[in-house]
Amino acid sequence: MNWLLLNSGKCDAASNMALDEALLENVSRLGKPVLRFYGWTEPAATFGYFQKFSEVERATLLRPLIRRPTGGGMVPHDADWTYGLVVPPNHEWYSLKAIESYRRIHEWIQSAFAKMKIETELAPSCKKSVPGECFAGHEKFDLLWHGKKIAGAAQRRNKSGLLVQGSVQPPPVSLKRTDFENAMSEVAREKFQIEWRGFSVDKKLATRADELALQRYSQAFYNQKR
């Protein structure tokens, strides 16, 4: 199976969310799943599409606060390792139940950490603490290191495809982000028989991402609409 690999570097929060949504809209045209690694030009927080802005605003001092196209809780961003996975509707991953695609992505990350000699485990059940904060407790199949959540994700399925947005808060040991990204790619080759093709954002995709960033994700009316 050929998948597309995109490392878009560091972007501002609105642009990051816009490019993920643009990839979801265009994944059928691209014809293959896309794994995107990215970072942040400034500290920020994203929050789930259905969350109330007023609750998120009280929960963190981080700014800007950007509403994600996916669900889930509030996630702080700065030095975290962030990724987006988009899958077209004719792909096997798209047909999975939400809990199964959630488990699969974290099994993938768990295997990547194992390649780096870091032992982790999937959470066997939920542990709630602070409502609405993604990393304050954990959900079933989140990734744990010494009992603490280090990886979570949020999903969105629609007629365009499946979008998974994930954040890894790396454990406090000597690890490089590039090593993690390489391990993710290697595990995919071994576990899923995926062959990677480098991918660059084309003009149509870039134009749509710019529109979404300008007209939606950088606008208070959108981020504060609930």
- Residues carrying an active site annotation: 134
Whole-angstrom Cα distance, residue 102 to residue 182? 21
**What type of residue is 218?**
S
DSSP 42: S
Burial of 169 by CB count in 10 Å (0-12 exposed, 13-18 middle, 19+ buried)? buried
Q: Cα dihedral sign for 105, 107, 113, 118?
A: positive
DSSP character for 129?
-
Nearest residue to 223 (alpha-carbon basis) of 60, 1, 17, 5? 17
The H or E element spanning position 110 is helix 98-115
- Strands in the chain per DSSP E: 2-11, 34-40, 44-47, 65-67, 75-77, 81-87, 121-122, 143-145, 148-158, 161-168, 195-198
Residue 144's beta-bridge partner residues? Answer: 121, 149
